[in-house]
Structure 1
């Protein structure tokens, strides 16, 4: 069904926002560190029209459970009527109003090509597309980074997932052909050219089809552990622990789990810096081993990998990839593989065969092409 069939009206406009993969810099965003995501060509698209009665109506072509109808003045975190997927766009409307912005009612119809539960930020695409649509419908003139902040507040305070800012900033601010080098403390950003095709390279996404759910407590536990480490070390955030002073810092921590979290975050920030230096020097192939180092750290120190992700990474590297790692929050989802274009079929076949031999679901493999951020259509 399209917008006209659902709402018996014509939309005022259409907007879309992409999912993302993160090249390097995992679980560093809520530690005020560095990340480097890129937007995918997969997007969440929303058709929308203003309403003048304070009612928000939401419909998803992909979930197909009918229209969710809410009153804006009744929205609050934990609202049972805004449960499941509808909490994300409802939370954006709530966050805009909480910020004192003049947002009224709207009819919204969503379609998405971002795989859900694959660690590719389908929720951020849903939030940012909603924020951009309401921004334009009500003439709010918010900048992309402001839309990202509003979207993050929706996810944190309304939905209840304590995510960092990376996913929303990637969806709102990425540009085609580039990776986004982002300092999550002050949102300083730089678009880094990332034209793999011109160098005979590809970035392959391996969606393990093991759905992850960041609201199940494991993600929150990692964040709480990082905050505990920062308090114990007397710093605002783990970003303030220097790489050179890491060994001394670790000696001050009694909890071995927290020690692993701290070691991952500090070394991961350093890996982002290394990757940037290599890309700036035109040594893109040398980024591969940095990716693999990041996976080992996420697996062993941060403990957020899974058997399927480990198999994807190990198999790809064993078949000749330049490097590979899990991407996203973990506990399932996707891995990325940096490889020579000429090796794509061989490595893809190796991963498929390994999953079949292990009795896992067949993974979904596709190329990550650096794409544009949120935009009107």
Structure 2
């Protein structure tokens, strides 16, 4: 086992601290099976009728996942995983955890899959993808390099590398095929003829959202969809052309996850994590991408801040978080940031009474990303 694979297993073990439940026990079981196999203890051959039943459970899991039925999918994939230590059932569980908004658990599980199943390039490809979207691009490249030494020019690995190096990765074609599908499914039925026009941030307990002006057409009606595939319609409450943003009112609230907003505006140079969806000409649900950096100073007109986080060209609209997982900005066009005080003014809210100015407890980047799976949404507009 390489040093990187050993590190992947260590990361998986660390992920078990997320919570004590049956999912954690399943990860322990599959890791124990991998250790026995690595020690030369081969499992008993699976009988044809058992394999046929396992395939039925895999199909049930995929069907449930395609309809947004996360718990049913987990139950089916779990049954399949109990019959055979195999990569396909584990990747199904990973994707079910992601569909349920559990990034930390998904990464812990797929770390094992990538290291233990040396005959399945899909596991390594899915792990690299989840590392990249979660802001760990260097580790994603290392995973891809190691996988190339094992699997050569496997098509799924080549496509992941191409997309990752583009800076604006889009899961399409082979990356949307089970079992290593690298995107969520729609959990809602949306209107036809839409495309991903940008990102938005849920505010006001998921009742409203802030989006870039350019992402919302004159029709004044859009769909908003989170990384769990949950989508609702929204209408324009008002447009602010001076700041280049739109306040949207959701026809039905979406759960915002961790919706804490910083009490004070951040200082220039503060660490920041910007998260957004890649805009595209289709309406495919996808996972957002996290990038880290340091917030910039005020722009020349004094109205907004420079984002300070290196990001590819795009319509923006995603949230910017601090090290404590609090919302400290909304990324707008021109790589500018709407600060918390400006956000409250836009929403017509009063500034809170500042608490003591002690240090903000840091949270893991994985936790910030997990919160963004609900707090950041795709803006779906008519083509």
TM > 0.5: no
Q: Give me the TM-score of the superposition, normalised by structure 2.
A: 0.29
Q: Give me the TM-score of the superposition, normalised by structure 1.
A: 0.29
- Normalized per residue, the structure richer in helix is 1
